[in-house]
Structure 1
Amino acid sequence: MPRMALLFREQGIRFCLVHIPEMLKGLLAGSVGPGYQTRPGCQFSPDQFARPVLSRAELTGLNQLFALKKQVERLAGRWAVKRLVMQEKDLSPDAIEVHNDASGAPALAPAFDYAISITHSGDYALAAALPGKANGLGVDMEVLSPVDIPALLHAGFSQKEQTAYAGADLETILKIWTIKEALLKYRQTGLKTPVKKIEWLDETLYENHIPVDGVRVNSYHRDNIIFSVVSPDFFSTKSSE
């Protein structure tokens, strides 16, 4: 049986991987059953939670979402961030507030000096945290499940990448996809930068055909999950597989 949350570190970055069905059993027992991916949004109240989890502002934001899947993913991502902060500080989860900044990216309240990033895939949410808000951080995750590789290559990979990765396996393709998405989160540009303009070729990250300086890329495979992190390069310059 998967654990509700797994805490670990990689290259100085803290991670919390949340298994969403287990989280729902532990935090919202009886409130959200199976099939959360396809149901309309709910109006949650504090007394539905097994323990205080969300601040008043966070609960208001959660209740403004129209799909239960989005609500559950929002809750899981924030729970993961709070677990990371609780490793360092003796605080109740509802005292650790995560909001969306001007770019729409999740950010901790000013009292907490961490750069954070959140990603979701399948039944999992993953949060990453790095001390120092100014450092910047981007993480993206994909569960290893069948996808239409030719369609994904066409939609999100440059012509050079399509040639380089013709015949590549699913793990390789998803790894490169997560690297692209992680850089977008690091840059906090969202869809303003087309993913085809971000390339991973010969273990080098490019944007608009120019090598991206000042960042470090790490990719990991844990069980059935691939995730990649883009962070400042002050740890090392070597990419980790």
Structure 2
Amino acid sequence: MKYRNFWQAAPSFLPLSSVPFQLGAIPVALHLVCIPDVVAGLFPKEEDWSVWKTRKKLFLPEDVFPEGFSEAEKARFHGFAVAKRQMEWLCGRMAVKELVRTFLGDTRTGAGIAVENTEKGVPFLPDFPEYALSISHGGDYAAAGIVLEKGGTLGLDLEPDRERDTEALRRMAFSEEEWAFLSGKPEREILRHWTLKEAGLKLVGQGFHLPLKKLEILPGGMRVNGKEMEGLFCWTADIEGGHLLSLLYGKVESR
């Protein structure tokens, strides 16, 4: 594997911000949304919105629903069974709509910006199918990314930085070659590597239909079913407040 270009020199630090921003190389636009901030804005009384992480369900009246959501999207929101899933979905879609307006020059309202999913659950923009899209959520945040170059590919994963059973991860997720690279590294870096694997699963459009050990993140890049995937970059960030964000993006060529 070629070692140059794939790994960034060190993780970036991302301050809390809802402002969309853009990476270099193959350009990728990202947007983070803080879920508790959105919930608090929709429900002025804390006792109404503090349940968002519970199994209770939220109902949003028409007059307080965020601007830019179609009737079909509102129905989709109310179709989720628990508040946590409702808000993760809502904030992820908010992030996508903001990216499309900001970086793709779409002058329509948010309600006209559609997001659909393939049979395997991969999100895409039916009006901009040539621009790769990825959405993730974890802990207090939802994030979306779009490759701003036609024909690109993208996988994004967001995770709260919490204690994990790294031995269980080793057995379940990492190949022997991956673990040889990770062995002895701090737990946080093992978690970061896990986020890159999840981003990789999204990038190849297989989700967990692909066995975890068949997709490897190695010092020189990504390998799927033993084939090296050239043309990829990785980018990872530590988000203020204790979250990790990882991306794999580029124009893939398998060898």
- Structure 1-normalised TM-score? 0.85
Gaps of 5+ in 2: 1-14
Distance 1:179 1:33 in 2: 32
Q: Name the residue aligned to 1:239.
A: none
> Which stretch has the larger CA shift, 26-35 or 122-131?
26-35
Distance 1:208 1:113 in 2: 26
Is 1:15 the counterpart of 2:30? The answer is yes
Assess, with a 3 A threshold, how the Cα gap between structure 1 residues 156 and 112 changes in structure 2: closer, same or farther.
closer
Is 1:129 the counterpart of 2:146? The answer is yes
Is 1:229 the counterpart of 2:247? The answer is yes
Q: Are the aligned partners of 2:51 and 2:83 in contact in 1 as well (CA < 8 Å)?
A: no
Relative CO higher for 1 or 2, CA cutoff 8 Å, sep ≥ 6? 2
Q: Are the aligned partners of 2:114 and 2:127 in contact in 1 as well (CA < 8 Å)?
A: no
Distance 1:90 1:27 in 2: 25
Q: Are the aligned partners of 1:130 and 1:137 in contact in 2 as well (CA < 8 Å)?
A: yes
Aligned residues: 232
Gaps of 5+ in 1: 235-241
Q: Are the aligned partners of 1:4 and 1:20 in contact in 2 as well (CA < 8 Å)?
A: no
Question: Which residues of 2 match residues 169-208 of structure 1 at below 5 A?
Answer: 169-208=186-225
Q: CA deviation at 1:36?
A: 1.2
Q: CA deviation at 1:128?
A: 0.3
Distance 1:137 1:41 in 2: 32
Distance 1:61 1:133 in 2: 29
- Structure 2-normalised TM-score? 0.80
Question: Which residues of 2 match residues 20-169 of structure 1 at below 5 A?
Answer: 20-30=35-45, 32-49=48-65, 51-87=66-102, 88-110=105-127, 114-131=131-148, 134-169=151-186
Give a deviation string over 1:13-58, Cα, whole Å, max 9, x none: 1000111001112345459511312223334442232x42311121
Distance 2:117 2:225 in 1: 28
Distance 1:125 1:150 in 2: 28
Q: Are the aligned partners of 2:31 and 2:143 in contact in 1 as well (CA < 8 Å)?
A: yes
Secondary structure of the corresponding residue to residue 19 of structure 2? strand
Secondary structure of the corresponding residue to residue 222 of structure 2? strand
Distance 1:130 1:46 in 2: 33
Distance 1:84 1:164 in 2: 36
Q: Are the aligned partners of 1:113 and 1:131 in contact in 2 as well (CA < 8 Å)?
A: no
Q: CA deviation at 1:9?
A: 1.4
Q: Are the aligned partners of 2:238 and 2:245 in contact in 1 as well (CA < 8 Å)?
A: yes
**2:191 maps to amino acid:** L
